[in-house]
Structure 1
Amino acid sequence: MSIGVNVERNLKTFQLSAEFNIPEPGITALFGPSGSGKTTLVNMIAGLVRPDRGHIQINDHVLFEHSRGINLPVRKRRVGCVFQDNRLFPHKSVRDNLFYGARRNPHKLPQDEQQAILEMLDIWDLMDRRPNLLSGGEKQRVALGRALLSNPDVLLLDEPLSALDHARKQEILPYLEWLRDHRKIPILYVTHAIDEVARLADHMVIIDQGKTLATGSVFDMLGRTDLAPLAGRFDAGTVLAARIVSRDPKAEVSFLECGGQRLVVPYLGRPKSNRVRLHIRARDVMIARTPPHDISANNIIPVTVTKISDEPGDTIDVTMCFGQDADATLLAETSGRPKIHARITKWSGSRLKLQPHQKVFAVIKSVTVNGQLRDR
């Protein structure tokens, strides 16, 4: 199951002209600044806004085709939506909200799958309440359950966490991770929060002023220094896939393997062999010409400089690949060897005399590594 979007629409402030594909499975983050057209695109896929031109398709199922006069109504699109304001019916109970769409869908989920969704969202105790008696996190769990129980072909999540405080966000994120890992449907996740992208997404579509700027794997996209201004000047960085090798509960650290290197991160609380995703901000990576000694930073990784991006301003972005062998740079381009990014001052780059193919060391404090467990 996948989605193809190629649409145009004249908006008040700019011309929206976006083209992208949402692969299956996993979460595709639709990322960009506020006002870039993300919500308009979601509403087009859902059938709430009509494009001026183009087409929208789920596999062979055409939802919109301007040239052929096709524009399926919302009820026939089999699209599940969760918005930041949840849009629950205030006069209905949680139970009635949950099954509102499912009762009208001839393609109902089997009973055991319905039970699994309700158990996963932990909302049995909320069934008889009205939405006004729910917390913000509980409302979003109900909205998510309502979308899933309708058995959609695709799930659209339009900034589902933006209206929640930090505590409620942390409450909802594990449910979204479960959804990503266990429900095999395409998910389009709209956000302008880079930390949510790094934690949840498998793929990214980056848009600005209604235009698609880039698409690809989240591992590649967050390392694109040319896209850093959209990500926020101090939030560009690296996403790495690793696995837990061992852990020390007393010392409250976990030891990981990534690209043949050992990494030390705050305790993750899971046994070895579990997969983990790491998010490391470029501003948290230091560069040393020789391996430093007697410092608090636990991660000193031998790397090779592959690219130096000299943008206007007082900083440079340095891309480095794991390893210092003769073929390190070539292998990074051809075999997916892990890369890491650092943002340092131009003065530091000049002092270190940095240049491509130079062998250096990436120095990372354990507490700056954000590690999230993956079930698959």
Structure 2
Amino acid sequence: ALDSLGNTTAATGKGFAIGSAALTAMALLAAYVQVVQQQQTTQAVEWAKSHPVAENVAVYRGYGQWAANADGGIHGGLGIVPDHLAHTLRKDHADGKSIEVQLGEYDQDANAWNVTYAGAHFRIVRADAASIRDLMIFYNVTLMNPRVLGGLFLGVLLAFVFCALTMNAVGRAAYRMMNECRRQFGKMREAFKAQGMAEEDIKDPMKWPTKVQHEGVQYPQYAECVAISTAGAQAEMVLPASLAILVPIAVGLVLGVPGVIGMLMGGLTSGFAIAIYMANAGGAWDNAKKYIETGHHGGKGSDAHKAGVVGDTVGDPFKDTSGPSLNILIKLISIVSVVFAGLIVKYAPMIGEMIGLG
């Protein structure tokens, strides 16, 4: 939305900021997929240090993951298996059985080995060469997967909760600022009375001197108001920022990679839409008040102006706080997901099995 008096610079800056968040988040989502690929290989190599793997053999590591010894090195493997075979593999692995398969011919086009286990044929996709489609199939990233849907809803709700927290934070900081201003106004009135200023002049702030001394203190104390704003801006963002950091980790550990991808999709789509809505709605409410103050619809003091002030009270944090801060939320949840991808790939299957989501 255009700021009042034709000031398009700030509005343009906000638009680019919000739009850039969507592009960055999509790039980070692609980076997340690449990190998952790399972690599959890294963890397979670490696993093979304590579980020897013979040449041209793949050993089952659990949760659909394999360690394959081929071409003189250890590679992470993603088993693309039918449902009945997946059940057999889980059962045999739970019984402590060592599951090994002889690697067949490597399919260069599919980046996979064709193998056989328990009379069933399936593919082991080389993790570091897997396509996005292979990863989506392996992790069952579809809308029919409850983990993806759960992450999707959590991502959508995260944007709304984040906005609610930032709006309330603005309200609390503004309330503290208002009380400080009232305190200073009270002290200034006492000083004016002590100096013999007429009551009529004291009631009209436009007739007040710009500075006054009272009880050894000079008023107004602008530094006190600045300190409230600074402290409020820092302290009030602790909870929203912690939410943006902890939610991707918690979702990843409970719902796994499918849940994280769903959360990123939900957070990106809802966050982008809410940010655009807040920027436009907040700017419109702000401009409406200023438009009325120019003399339209009754001008200052009218009922329309009172309503405009209420709209501006909500509109300013809409367009200046919650809307732009969604830019940070979208990028932060994406970055946290990328940073903790290794932790999620390693421990999410175990945690999911412990709580019955395996």
TM-score of the pair, normalised by structure 2 = 0.22
Larger RCO, structures 1/2 (Cα 8 Å, 6+ apart)? 2
- Structure showing greater radius of gyration is 2
Structure whose residues are more often helix by fraction: 2
* TM-score, normalising length: structure 1: 0.21
